[in-house]
Structure 1
């Protein structure tokens, strides 16, 4: 009885989706509601519907046949690609062709000689000495001061100022022997190897 009363009180404009007086609540409970498009696809949410409008590859809910066909198409493409890849490998490694030579890219070797070419500043002066085979003077030091000097031809060097030299002429200062100090009032020292005469007191 209540359903008949609700149907009688519901007008067609309220349950028509194309009408401006459309009432969704009455359309859900009315038996007279007509779907505008009977075969319209159903999607799980609004985001899926928007993707389907853009990409056209989203399958609606309830179309299991289309899902099965799509999976079969993917499997067929995968098998076709594997077959083409196997065919390419057979052609590449065929007996009449042999192994294809692989071209190796040579890496730029970095060593001391290549880095010398890029030296700048004070090290650039040493680079000029190496290129022109000039003789240089190197002063050596010790803990007390200047020890000596070297006159040599520079062959190579690095950024830590380690030098490789040839035709080296080295001069240095050698410290002389210390003289024995005589305490005052003791007279001359007795040389070694001689016996000292001891006089009785």
Structure 2
């Protein structure tokens, strides 16, 4: 071949190589292609344009996780390219969650129809007649009651409060409680010895001992629970 023919063949080879390189670069910069190269697309000279250029970038792995299939799902191509198929474990978990939701809904509806515990106790046979009727009337009329309490050594004090709930054993829940009670405290008492007239250093002989003394105190509480065995009497003071 002559020299002109050789030069023409070289130019044709260079053109084919440039076209092949361009096609390769295009596929590596195509976001939808399997040959997409993210490192090459991040270069400034690549001029790669994402399919959604105004989309907000995801900063953390947790944000990217919601775009991926869940643990019970698997990606397959049995029914078309790119379609996701769910596994049996995912369907079973969804069915169990639906059953739990239906059960909780039924329980909530049944619980809403139930009578309040304090209402049931106040409307019981024991509260409609007998001594507990005083507590039921005070609760319904929203009247304060006076309750005398005790401890192991006797009467402890007196409390005035509203009755929120009670049962047949006189266990009560009281609110807005004003209580006056006594506490036994030990005091140091000095007493002169009996039968002695000796004087030592100008002072008569005395002895020191600890003696109990009842101290009266008062307090106000927002809500308390009182056991029936600690109650002496319950009365409604005159208005």
TM-score (norm 1): 0.37
The higher-RCO structure (CA 8 Å, 6+ apart) is: 2
TM-score normalized by structure 2?
Answer: 0.32
Structure whose CA Rg is larger:
1
- Structure with greater strand percent: 2
